[in-house]
Copies of this chain bind each other. A is one copy, B any other.
Amino acid sequence: MSSAPTRTPQRERSRATQARVLEATVDCLLERGWSGTTTTVVATRAGVSRGAQLHHYPTKSALVMAAVEHLAERRAAEIRTEAASLPAGPERLDRVIDMLATAFTGPLFVAALELWVAGRTDPELRDALVPLEARVGREMHRLTVELLGADERQPGVRETIQATLDLLRGLGVANLLSDDSARRTALLGTWKRQLAAILAAVPTTPSASTG
Protein backbone atom coordinates (compact mmCIF):
# COMPACT_ATOMS: atom_id res chain seq x y z
CA MET A 1 0.00 0.00 0.00
CA SER A 2 3.05 2.20 -0.23
CA SER A 3 2.74 5.03 -2.69
CA ALA A 4 5.26 4.68 -5.47
CA PRO A 5 8.15 7.13 -5.59
CA THR A 6 6.43 9.49 -7.95
CA ARG A 7 8.44 12.38 -9.18
CA THR A 8 8.75 15.96 -8.31
CA PRO A 9 5.28 17.36 -8.98
CA GLN A 10 3.93 15.15 -6.25
CA ARG A 11 6.70 16.13 -3.88
CA GLU A 12 6.37 19.80 -4.72
CA ARG A 13 2.65 19.77 -4.19
CA SER A 14 3.30 18.15 -0.86
CA ARG A 15 5.77 20.84 0.11
CA ALA A 16 3.42 23.62 -0.94
CA THR A 17 0.64 22.01 1.07
CA GLN A 18 2.88 21.82 4.11
CA ALA A 19 3.86 25.47 3.86
CA ARG A 20 0.20 26.49 3.49
CA VAL A 21 -0.77 24.45 6.53
CA LEU A 22 2.03 25.93 8.63
CA GLU A 23 1.17 29.52 7.70
CA ALA A 24 -2.49 28.87 8.47
CA THR A 25 -1.48 27.42 11.84
CA VAL A 26 0.50 30.51 12.81
CA ASP A 27 -2.33 32.79 11.71
CA CYS A 28 -4.75 30.73 13.74
CA LEU A 29 -2.50 30.84 16.83
CA LEU A 30 -2.18 34.60 16.55
CA GLU A 31 -5.88 35.13 16.04
CA ARG A 32 -7.37 32.58 18.42
CA GLY A 33 -4.57 31.52 20.74
CA TRP A 34 -3.63 27.95 21.60
CA SER A 35 -7.02 26.88 22.90
CA GLY A 36 -8.84 28.25 19.85
CA THR A 37 -6.50 26.49 17.44
CA THR A 38 -7.70 23.10 16.26
CA THR A 39 -6.48 20.86 13.46
CA THR A 40 -9.92 21.14 11.84
CA VAL A 41 -9.90 24.93 11.80
CA VAL A 42 -6.39 24.92 10.37
CA ALA A 43 -7.23 22.42 7.61
CA THR A 44 -10.22 24.49 6.55
CA ARG A 45 -8.23 27.69 6.63
CA ALA A 46 -5.38 26.20 4.61
CA GLY A 47 -7.83 24.66 2.14
CA VAL A 48 -6.43 21.15 2.50
CA SER A 49 -8.21 17.92 3.29
CA ARG A 50 -8.12 16.61 6.80
CA GLY A 51 -6.44 13.50 5.47
CA ALA A 52 -3.64 15.45 3.83
CA GLN A 53 -3.09 17.45 6.95
CA LEU A 54 -3.06 14.48 9.30
CA HIS A 55 -0.63 12.77 6.97
CA HIS A 56 1.92 15.56 7.57
CA TYR A 57 1.05 16.43 11.18
CA PRO A 58 -0.75 13.73 13.10
CA THR A 59 -1.45 15.78 16.25
CA LYS A 60 -2.16 19.35 17.22
CA SER A 61 1.13 19.50 19.13
CA ALA A 62 3.10 18.29 16.12
CA LEU A 63 1.32 20.78 13.88
CA VAL A 64 1.82 23.79 16.11
CA MET A 65 5.44 22.97 16.93
CA ALA A 66 6.24 22.60 13.24
CA ALA A 67 4.56 25.93 12.55
CA VAL A 68 6.56 27.77 15.20
CA GLU A 69 9.78 26.14 14.04
CA HIS A 70 8.98 27.11 10.44
CA LEU A 71 8.37 30.69 11.51
CA ALA A 72 11.56 30.76 13.62
CA GLU A 73 13.61 29.70 10.62
CA ARG A 74 11.99 32.29 8.41
CA ARG A 75 12.59 35.03 10.98
CA ALA A 76 16.23 34.03 11.52
CA ALA A 77 16.78 34.21 7.76
CA GLU A 78 15.14 37.65 7.66
CA ILE A 79 17.31 38.89 10.51
CA ARG A 80 20.46 37.63 8.77
CA THR A 81 19.45 39.37 5.54
CA GLU A 82 18.69 42.61 7.34
CA ALA A 83 21.92 42.31 9.34
CA ALA A 84 23.96 42.15 6.15
CA SER A 85 23.09 45.79 5.46
CA LEU A 86 23.88 47.06 8.97
CA PRO A 87 26.45 49.83 9.24
CA ALA A 88 29.68 49.36 11.17
CA GLY A 89 30.54 51.80 13.92
CA PRO A 90 28.66 52.85 17.04
CA GLU A 91 25.30 53.05 15.27
CA ARG A 92 25.44 49.32 14.66
CA LEU A 93 24.64 48.31 18.22
CA ASP A 94 21.54 50.53 18.24
CA ARG A 95 20.30 49.00 15.02
CA VAL A 96 20.91 45.45 16.23
CA ILE A 97 18.93 46.06 19.42
CA ASP A 98 16.12 47.66 17.42
CA MET A 99 16.00 44.67 15.08
CA LEU A 100 15.86 42.25 18.00
CA ALA A 101 13.22 44.33 19.80
CA THR A 102 11.09 44.14 16.67
CA ALA A 103 11.50 40.37 16.60
CA PHE A 104 10.50 40.08 20.27
CA THR A 105 7.28 41.99 19.73
CA GLY A 106 6.38 40.31 16.44
CA PRO A 107 4.26 37.33 15.44
CA LEU A 108 6.91 34.67 16.13
CA PHE A 109 7.28 35.81 19.71
CA VAL A 110 3.54 35.94 20.27
CA ALA A 111 2.98 32.50 18.72
CA ALA A 112 5.84 31.02 20.75
CA LEU A 113 4.48 32.54 23.95
CA GLU A 114 1.12 30.86 23.29
CA LEU A 115 2.99 27.56 23.14
CA TRP A 116 5.13 28.15 26.23
CA VAL A 117 2.12 28.98 28.34
CA ALA A 118 0.10 26.05 26.99
CA GLY A 119 3.11 23.76 27.48
CA ARG A 120 3.22 24.59 31.15
CA THR A 121 0.03 22.62 31.78
CA ASP A 122 0.35 20.12 28.91
CA PRO A 123 3.14 17.61 29.57
CA GLU A 124 3.22 16.22 26.02
CA LEU A 125 3.61 19.68 24.52
CA ARG A 126 6.17 20.68 27.13
CA ASP A 127 8.37 17.67 26.46
CA ALA A 128 8.38 18.50 22.78
CA LEU A 129 8.93 22.22 23.34
CA VAL A 130 11.87 22.13 25.74
CA PRO A 131 14.48 20.90 23.24
CA LEU A 132 13.10 23.17 20.48
CA GLU A 133 13.28 26.17 22.79
CA ALA A 134 16.82 25.32 23.86
CA ARG A 135 17.90 25.15 20.23
CA VAL A 136 16.17 28.38 19.18
CA GLY A 137 17.54 30.11 22.29
CA ARG A 138 21.12 29.05 21.51
CA GLU A 139 20.73 30.20 17.90
CA MET A 140 19.41 33.57 18.98
CA HIS A 141 22.25 34.01 21.46
CA ARG A 142 24.87 33.12 18.87
CA LEU A 143 23.33 35.46 16.33
CA THR A 144 23.29 38.33 18.83
CA VAL A 145 26.94 37.80 19.81
CA GLU A 146 27.87 37.74 16.15
CA LEU A 147 25.87 40.85 15.21
CA LEU A 148 27.26 42.82 18.14
CA GLY A 149 30.79 41.56 17.61
CA ALA A 150 30.88 40.81 21.34
CA ASP A 151 33.84 39.04 22.92
CA GLU A 152 32.41 36.44 25.27
CA ARG A 153 35.83 35.63 26.72
CA GLN A 154 35.62 38.91 28.63
CA PRO A 155 34.11 38.43 32.05
CA GLY A 156 30.45 39.34 32.27
CA VAL A 157 29.91 39.71 28.54
CA ARG A 158 28.14 36.40 28.08
CA GLU A 159 25.74 37.16 30.94
CA THR A 160 25.14 40.67 29.61
CA ILE A 161 24.16 39.33 26.19
CA GLN A 162 21.83 36.84 27.87
CA ALA A 163 20.37 39.63 30.01
CA THR A 164 19.74 41.67 26.86
CA LEU A 165 17.72 38.82 25.34
CA ASP A 166 15.84 38.18 28.58
CA LEU A 167 15.10 41.90 28.83
CA LEU A 168 13.73 41.83 25.28
CA ARG A 169 11.57 38.83 26.17
CA GLY A 170 10.18 40.74 29.16
CA LEU A 171 9.48 43.71 26.92
CA GLY A 172 7.70 41.42 24.48
CA VAL A 173 5.36 40.28 27.25
CA ALA A 174 4.81 43.88 28.36
CA ASN A 175 3.64 44.65 24.83
CA LEU A 176 1.06 41.85 24.65
CA LEU A 177 -2.07 43.71 25.74
CA SER A 178 -1.30 47.28 24.81
CA ASP A 179 1.17 49.28 22.78
CA ASP A 180 4.23 49.67 25.01
CA SER A 181 6.48 51.15 22.34
CA ALA A 182 7.05 54.61 23.88
CA ARG A 183 8.22 53.18 27.18
CA ARG A 184 10.23 50.50 25.39
CA THR A 185 12.04 53.02 23.19
CA ALA A 186 13.06 55.17 26.17
CA LEU A 187 14.17 52.17 28.18
CA LEU A 188 16.17 50.67 25.31
CA GLY A 189 17.79 54.05 24.64
CA THR A 190 19.31 53.89 28.09
CA TRP A 191 20.15 50.21 27.80
CA LYS A 192 21.95 50.69 24.48
CA ARG A 193 24.31 53.21 26.05
CA GLN A 194 24.96 50.96 29.03
CA LEU A 195 25.45 47.93 26.81
CA ALA A 196 27.87 49.83 24.57
CA ALA A 197 29.88 50.89 27.63
CA ILE A 198 29.97 47.32 28.97
CA LEU A 199 30.98 45.77 25.65
CA ALA A 200 33.62 48.43 25.02
CA ALA A 201 35.18 48.50 28.42
CA VAL A 202 34.17 45.53 30.51
CA PRO A 203 35.15 47.09 33.80
CA THR A 204 32.15 46.72 36.05
CA THR A 205 32.99 49.94 37.87
CA PRO A 206 32.53 53.05 35.78
CA SER A 207 35.68 54.97 36.68
CA ALA A 208 38.32 53.53 34.35
CA SER A 209 38.82 55.80 31.38
CA THR A 210 41.23 53.76 29.38
CA GLY A 211 39.85 53.94 25.87
Binding site for B on A (CB under 8 A): 31-36, 110, 113-114, 116-121, 126, 129-130, 133, 156, 159-160, 162-163, 165-174, 176-178, 183, 186-187, 189-191, 193-194, 197-198, 201, 203-207, 209
User: What are 13 pairs between A and B in contact, CB < 8 Å?
Assistant: A110-B120, A119-B177, A126-B177, A130-B178, A156-B193, A159-B186, A159-B190, A159-B191, A163-B187, A193-B204, A194-B198, A197-B205, A203-B206
Partner of A194, one of B120, B170, B194: B194
A120 to B176: give the CA distance in the assembly, Å.
6
Bound-state CA distance A186–B166 (Å) is 13
User: Which 3 pairs of residues, A with B, have the shortest CB-CB distance?
Assistant: A170-B170, A169-B170, A166-B170
In the assembled complex, the Cα of A169 lies from the Cα of B114 at a distance in Å of 16
**Chain B nearest Cβ from A172, distance in angstroms:** 8
A204 and B177 within 8 A (CB): no
> Which residue of B has the minimal Cβ distance to A116?
B176
Q: Is the CB of A197 within 8 A of B190?
A: no
Chain B CB count within 10 A is highest, among A35, A177, A197, for: A177
A169 to B187 alpha-carbon distance, docked (Å)? 15
State how many angstroms separate the Cβ of A185 from the closest Cβ of chain B: 10
> Could you say which residues of chain B place their CB within 8 Å of the CB of A187?
159, 162-163, 166
- Say yes or no: A173 contacts B116, CB within 8 Å: yes
In the complex the two chains form, what is the Cα distance from A176 to B207 in whole Å?
38
- B36→A121 contact, CB < 8 A: yes
Picked from B113, B129, B163, B205, the residue with its CB within 8 Å of the CB of A191 is B163
The answer to whether B204 and A194 touch across the interface, beta carbons within 8 angstroms, is yes
Query: Taking the nearest CB of chain B, how far is it from the CB of A173, in angstroms?
Result: 6
For the complex, give the distance between the alpha carbons of A176 and B172 in Å: 15
